[in-house]
Structures are given as C-alpha cells and as structure tokens.
Amino acid sequence: MGNPLSEANLQEVQRVTVLGLLINLVLTLAKLVAGITGHSQAVVADAVHSLSDSATDIVVLVGARFWGKPADADHPYGHRKVESFATAFIGLALGLVGLGLGYNALVTMHEQHEAPPGLEALLAALASIVVKEWLYQWTIRVGKRVKSSAVIANAWHHRSDALSSIPVAVAVGTSFILPGWAFLDHVATVAVALFILQATWMIMSQPIHDLLERGVEAEVLQAIERHVRGIPGVRDFHKIRTRSVSSAIFVDLHVHVDAHLDIAQGHNIARQVKKALLESELGIVDVLVHIEPYDPARGLVECNGT
C-alpha cells in the first residue's frame, strides 16, 4: 500500500537529481561571475534562480528516501504526503525567489548602469537556456516514468530557469549591441520574476489538492465504474469515494451482490473488484470494498450501519 518507489526508480530519481544539483551549482557560479563582471542585474538574478534550483534538488534527494518507503504500522497509508510537502516546499521556495527578484528589479528600475552588459553575460544566459532545457527534458521523463509529483515539479523548476534566461539573453544582447538600451536589463529581471511566479502556480496546485485529499477527476471515476461493472456478480454499486495523494489513488465503494450468495461468494466478488482496480493503469494503490445484498424483487436491501 502507498505505491512505494522501487529501488531502481529511487536510484534513477537520485541520479537525475544529483546531476541536476551539480549543474545548477556550476551554472549559479558561472552566471554570478558573468553577471557581476558583465554588469548585468538580470544575469545575477538568473544566478539566484539557479541557486534556488539547487535547494530544491536537495529537497528531492532527501525526500525521495521518505516518500519511497512502503506502508508501516504508524503510517498504514504509506508516506506519499511527504512528497506533497516536498513539492509544496519547492513551489514556495520558487515563489519567494520570484517575488524577491521582481521587487528588487522594480525598485532599481530608475538606476543607470555604469556600463552596458558585457559579452560574458550574454554567453552565460545562452548557455543556461541550452543546459537547463536539456536538464528539464531528462528530469520530466524520469518524473513521469516513476509518477513523482516532486520530481516533475523539480523538472518545471529547471524549465522555468531555461525560459527565464530567454528574456535575459534578449535584453543583454540588445544592450550589448545598443548601450543606450541598458534599461532592458531591469525589464528582463521583471520578466524572469513573472516566469518564476507562473511556474510556482503550476507546481503548488498539485500538492494543495493532495493535502486537501481531493477526489479523482471525472474521467478517472468513470474508468473505475467501468472496471467495477465488468466484474461478474456485481449487480450494482454506490457510495464511491476516492482520494489522491501524489500519483497514488485510494478507493472506497459499496458493491451490491445477489442476496442469496453466502459470505465466501460475496467475498470472492469483492476480491475480484479489488484485483481489477489495483491491476488497472489508473494508479490505484488501495481499494476497500463493502458488500451489500441485492434482491431483484425488492431492490437494494440496506444493512444496519450502511
């Protein structure tokens, strides 16, 4: 129960995250030096963005060991909510970085540059676009394969860094060619902040739904119903309740079977319903089936306590 990460998936998550951490640290240092020596506030801001990526890489590395654990006596539903908290932390950290960079750019918008941005600042921004987009593509594939919202969120953190470097490169390149347009460096910094805040919203929505234990989408619920109706002996069903935590789905439902069946026969139908749902490709990790007698002549026979 709890859909724990396999050892192979855990190692893959760690591998892509460790490489991402090392790349982020190198990019942070390179952009920081290039931004300072190249007189570009936008590239320095982009360096801070890359540094925040490093922090979230560490969160994923540490968190994967916890949310990958199987269920135990103290946590019978598994540890998936650790992943939701890790994803929320990534989004929150990213949002704070975006707000800080945007505020600093706005309050310094009137300041004049001592010198236009240099070539090293432009090259750093271009390198960031290429490297971070490649890192995004790799990380998002791993996240989808292991069905980890935290890894997917971290991938979007890489993508936001790549996207935010685009206006930086455009502004720095324009200012490098046309020194009178150096104010674009501040504008690009605001654009970076907006990209970051957009990524924050995308990242935060999933863990918020997880922590509120939102039910599954309508199409998933319809798929569950199709699987249940396909089981021989199921006359009807009702009171389906679902909740999703990260990529894991938990299902409770009441199944109606013929009233003349004995306990063993009813239990066998319930077992088949559970087996069908667990073996589906819907991401269901646990199913609780309550059996109720159904009499064709009288309809549903309600049991005490139902």
Q: What is the mean pLDDT of the chain?
A: 78
The residue written with tokens 């932390």 in the block is 89
Mean pLDDT in residue range 175-184? 73
Asked if residue 200 and residue 272 are part of one domain, the reply reads no
Question: Domain ends where: 158, 188, 211?
Answer: 211
Do 189 and 49 touch, CB atoms closer than 8 A?
A: no
> Could you give the 3-state DSSP secondary structure of residue 240?
strand
Question: Do the domain assignments include residue 181?
Answer: yes
Question: Domain ends where: 211, 230, 252?
Answer: 211
Asked if residue 123 and residue 39 are part of one domain, the reply reads yes
- Identify the CATH number of the domain in which residue 260 sits: 3.30.70.1350
Question: Do the domain assignments include residue 2?
Answer: no
Question: Do the domain assignments include residue 306?
Answer: no
Asked if residue 175 and residue 35 are part of one domain, the reply reads yes
Rg of the Cα atoms in the chain? 26
Residues facing 188 on adjacent strands = none
Asked if residue 183 and residue 116 are part of one domain, the reply reads yes
Question: Do the domain assignments include residue 276?
Answer: yes
Mean pLDDT in residue range 172-193? 75
Q: How many CB atoms lie within 10 A of CB 288?
A: 12
Asked if residue 229 and residue 196 are part of one domain, the reply reads no
- Identify the CATH number of the domain in which residue 186 sits: 1.20.1510.10
Asked if residue 111 and residue 233 are part of one domain, the reply reads no
- E strand or H helix at 245: strand 236-245
Question: Domain ends where: 165, 189, 211?
Answer: 211
Asked if residue 200 and residue 79 are part of one domain, the reply reads yes
> Could you give the 3-state DSSP secondary structure of residue 255?
strand
Do 191 and 89 touch, CB atoms closer than 8 A?
A: no
d(CA 258, CA 231): 13
Q: 78 versus 37: which is more confidently predicted?
A: 37
Q: How many domains does the chain have?
A: 2
Asked if residue 236 and residue 149 are part of one domain, the reply reads no
Asked if residue 206 and residue 264 are part of one domain, the reply reads no
Residues facing 251 on adjacent strands = 242, 287
Closest by CA position to 1, among listed 62, 79, 65: 79
CA 139, chain centre distance (Å): 11
Asked if residue 153 and residue 130 are part of one domain, the reply reads yes
Inform me whether the pLDDT recorded for 272 exceeds 90: yes
- In tens, the pLDDT along 152-169 reads 878 887 887 787 788 778
CA 94, chain centre distance (Å): 13
| Domain extent at residue 286 | 218-300
Do 293 and 259 touch, CB atoms closer than 8 A?
A: yes
Token output for 281:
């490709």
Residues facing 287 on adjacent strands = 251
Question: Do the domain assignments include residue 137?
Answer: yes
Q: 236 versus 85: which is more confidently predicted?
A: 236
* Whether pTM exceeds 0.85: no
CA atoms within 13 A on the CB side of 79: 16
d(CA 29, CA 290): 59
Asked if residue 266 and residue 166 are part of one domain, the reply reads no
Asked if residue 276 and residue 191 are part of one domain, the reply reads no
